[in-house]
Amino acid sequence: MTDTAPTTDWATWQRSWDRQQEWYMPDREDRFRVMLDMVEAVVGPEPRVLDLACGTGSITDRLLRRFPNATSTGVDLDPALLTIAEGYFAGDERVGFVTADLKDPDWTRALPYDTYDVVLTATALHWLHSEPLAALYGQLSGIVREGGVFMNADHMIDEATPRINAAERAMRHVRMDAEKAAGVLDWADWWALAAKDPALAEPTARRYEIYGEHADGDMPSVRWHADTLRAVGFAEARPVWCSPSDTLLLAVR
């Protein structure tokens, strides 16, 4: 009889991450559905995709369920979330992962391909301030092939509507408080659990060395994103989905 180390259930960690994120964004699946609808509409059902700031690979997971012949490169800097992603997709030749800092001007050198049909990202780029985000958009204009697509689903705040913003925020927090009281994990709770898991304790400690509790980025308006993307070389850019707080913006190269 031989002793074997316990196997980490990466699918459970993937689902746990999704549930935690849905506490903040109950319409999260809606944005993913529209995102993939537009992938198919513009570039077809077999895209080469860059999953930007991929986290655990939530976008890639949904991409491959819908488009089995797609391929995906996930890029992120978070060692804990990448550990989950690599475990969850282990053995899937359609998927690869790259560790890179999107604020590093040379991060694209780590990618396995020079160009992609599609670059997708969700609820991640608000970690960047406007200046490095504009620089990143400039780099993406060189990665997305002509006729290809970039989509960003994120918090995009219109400062010209403060009363609407305040009402939406208040309503959202009433819901979140009720769900938290019922036992839903928030960001801090989830990371506390990750720190206790033997497979995630060390990468979780490293991610706190990199990020701290949370990065302090910006949430510019939809217009800022669209104008910036057009300025760096995208031919068209506009929202294709929105909620009271978030927007999915699509840009065509």
In this predicted structure, what is the pLDDT of residue 134? Answer: 97
Tokens of 68: 């089995």
Q: Is 235 exposed, middle or buried (0-12, 13-18, 19+ CB in 10 A)?
A: exposed
Tokens of 67: 């488009």
- Cα(236)–Cα(70) distance, integer angstroms: 24
What backbone phi and psi angles, to 5 degrees, belong to 194? -60, -40
DSSP state string for 199-216 = TTHHHHHHHHHHH-S---
Q: What is the pLDDT of residues 104-155, one digit of tens each?
A: 999 999 999 999 999 999 999 999 999 999 999 999 999 999 999 999 999 9
In this predicted structure, what is the pLDDT of residue 2? Answer: 41
Say what the pTM is. 0.95
* Low pLDDT (below 70) residues in the chain: 1-6, 214-215
CB 130 within 8 A of CB 218: yes
In this predicted structure, what is the pLDDT of residue 32? Answer: 98
